[in-house]
Structure 1
Amino acid sequence: MNKTELKEFLDAKVVQYNNPKFLESDPLQIPHLFTKKEDVEISAFLTATIAWGNRKSIINNAQSLMQLLDNAPYDFVLKHTKNDLESFNGFVHRTFNAEDLKYFIKSLRNIYESHGGLEQVFASHGETRSMQNAISLFKKTFFEIPHPTRTTKHVSDPNKGSAAKRINMFLRWMVRDNLTGVDFGLWKKIQPSQLSCPLDVHSGNVARKLGLLKRKQNDAKALAELDTNLRLLDPNDPVKYDFALFGLGVFEKF
């Protein structure tokens, strides 16, 4: 199909999947449990961090994680004691374990106390057409306090070749508008035009079948190629096509 037909096809798929029914089987339902900005962004960041593997398992473990945080993530992050963190012992999602989670909570407190919060850290390094360098610099900030070496693998770095799927997904959740009740539109210092599509095996395979991506690996170079092509379809909100690519891959086995 030509560019016009492709855009019409993908725009229709965005409408089909960008609606509250999408939340029924998606980890994004977890931050929708909260209303306070900081609760939403912390729960979203932690949920996105463990968002790989079986989606039902992701949702169940994210729910358990919120219970460990007394269902008040921001309050817990700011006021937790060392003893409070002991309740995390036994938590595990694939390779993300209690040691990683304890550090994440400590680092989040540092980010809110010393850097003005998650939005400020990302927004202060955002570039006009991309958040990828900002993600890399976010990782430096996130690990600026003493940390277990093993935990660094749980935050991706685009400048080291990663497509940073989970952080790009988290940014989509925070930045894109809430007009359909799916994403939150909470962060005003970053524009949707700066975002990149969360690139994984599903969106990557569909993008290749549609001619939006030629590179075979799902890495930073592939993300840049996909970014370029999605911006041709909608320069103001290219990442909306995540709904189309993901929906076609996961629900329609396109």
Structure 2
Amino acid sequence: MSLQTIQKLLDKEVQNRNKLYELSYEKPDPLLVASKYKDETIALICALFAYGNAGQIVKFLDTLDFSLLESSEKKIKKELSSAYYRFQKSEDVIALFIALKRLKEIGSIEDIFYEGYKKEQNILDGLWNFITVLKKSYSHQTYGYRFLTGTIPKKVENSGTYKRYMMFLRWMVRKDSLDMGLWSKIDKKDLLMPLDTHTFKMSHKLGLLKRKSYDMKAVIELTETFKKWDKEDPIKYDFALYRLGQEKIEI
């Protein structure tokens, strides 16, 4: 199958998937929960816990009381004392809520990302700035918390995919029937592919990606492939590609 044929099929898939009914408890996705609130901080929490089984992710997110972000730190510690999800113990969930509560008092998540991004319109520079500010807002050192919030790599090209952050940015920057488009300062043409195992496998299967390693180099390569199809909005293919892989659909 030629790349031109694959592009036509994926363009059609993007159009068909860009429907609200793609987000439901029958077809779970963390965006289902994030969409209920239309809030950047709640959306980030939903994105950072988006690893593992999609149904279990949504089930966990539905147990969280996001109004705690407006409560005292003492109340956050009390109310989340039994909250946990996979690698995150209650202390890690509490730490994230407190850190994000403190950030809200400093400024918006968008502005923190933009501060790093604006120099060279580089999404990763924006991410490194955000992670730096997040860590400073509340110091908490555990494996579960580091896994949840991420760290700044020594060598970007050898780093992981930062899929959960890239997905969050897609939700915030793009605007369609699925993505919320709550931000205005970052250009969607600069977004990077939120590469997960489903999109990674599908991209190889369709001949869109040559790199065998699941890392940032693969993210950039796949993004560049999609830029050849749509340089202004390359990441529009993410959700459709993800669903095709998740549902094991042949095209």
1:83-121 Cα distance to aligned partner (Å, 9 max, x none): 33211112111102211111112211222212x211111
Give the match for residue 20 of structure 2. 20
Q: 2:35, 2:56 → 1: CA distance?
A: 18
Partner of 1:9: 9
Q: Distance in 1 between matches of 2:29 and 2:148?
A: 20
Residues 4-53 of structure 1, C-alpha deviation per residue, up to 9 Å, x if partnerless?
32221111111122211111122211122225xxxx21221111111111
TM-score w.r.t. the length of structure 2 is 0.89
1:122 matched residue in structure 2: 113
1:208 counterpart residue number: 204
SS of alignment partner, residue 207 of structure 2: coil
Shift >3 Å, 4+ stretches: 127-130, 157-160
Residue identity matched to 1:211 = G
Q: Which residue of 2 aligns with 1:174?
A: 172
Bigger mean CA offset, 17-26 vs 202-211: 17-26
Alignment counterpart, residue 235 of structure 2, candidates 223, 233, 239:
239
- Partner secondary structure for residue 136 of structure 2: coil
Out of 211, 219, 222, the residue aligned to residue 218 of structure 2 is 222
Question: Mind listing any 5+ residue stretches in structure 2 that lack a counterpart?
Answer: none
Task: Using the TM superposition, give the Cα deviation of residue 157 of structure 1 relative to its aligned residue in structure 2, in angstroms.
Answer: 4.3
Say if 2:226 and 2:234, in contact at 8 Å, map to a contact too.
yes
Instruction: State which drifts further: 81-90 or 19-28.
Output: 81-90
Give me the whole-angstrom Cα distance separating, in 1, the residues matched to 2:151 and 2:138: 19
Quote how far apart the aligned CAs of 1:209 are. 1.2
| Matched residue, 1:45 | 44
One-letter code of the match for 1:137?
N
Q: Deviations over 1:197-243 (max 9, x none)?
A: 11011000011111221112221111111111111111111111102
Q: Which of 227, 248, 251 is matched with 1:252 structurally?
A: 248
Maintained 8 Å contact 1:132/1:158: no
TM-score, scaled to structure 1: 0.88
Deviates more, 1:83-92 or 1:222-231: 83-92
- Range with bigger deviation, 129-138 or 13-22: 129-138
Unaligned runs of 5+ in 1: none
5 Å-filtered alignment, 1:10-159, equals 10-24=10-24, 25-35=28-38, 40-65=39-64, 68-69=65-66, 72=67, 76-114=68-106, 116-126=107-117, 130-150=122-142, 151-157=145-151, 159=153
Counting matched residue pairs gives 240
* Contact in 1 for aligned 2:115/2:129 (Cα 8 Å): no
Q: Provide the rounded CA distance (Å) in 1 between the counterparts of 2:166 and 2:122.
A: 10
Q: Secondary structure at the match of 1:218?
A: coil
Q: Distance in 2 between matches of 1:247 and 1:81?
A: 38
Q: Measured at CA, do residues 158 and 198 of structure 1 come closer, stay the same or move farther in structure 2, by a change above 3 Å?
A: farther
- What is the percentage of aligned positions where both structures have the same residue? 30
Secondary structure of the structure 2 residue equivalent to 1:125: helix
Q: Tell whether the 8 Å contact from 2:10 to 2:240 is kept in structure 1 after alignment.
A: yes
Corresponding residue SS for 2:31: helix
Tell me how far 1:169 sits from its aligned partner.
Answer: 0.4
Q: Is the 8 A contact 2:47 2:167 kept in 1?
A: yes
RMSD over equivalenced CA pairs, Å: 1.8
Partner of 1:187: 183
8 Å CA contact 1:176, 1:185 repeated in 2: yes
Contact preservation (8 Å) 2:33, 2:58 = yes
Is contact 2:44-2:168 (8 Å) kept?
yes
Q: Return the alpha-carbon distance in structure 2 between the equivalents of residues 146 and 21 of structure 1.
A: 38
Equivalent residue letter for 2:149: V
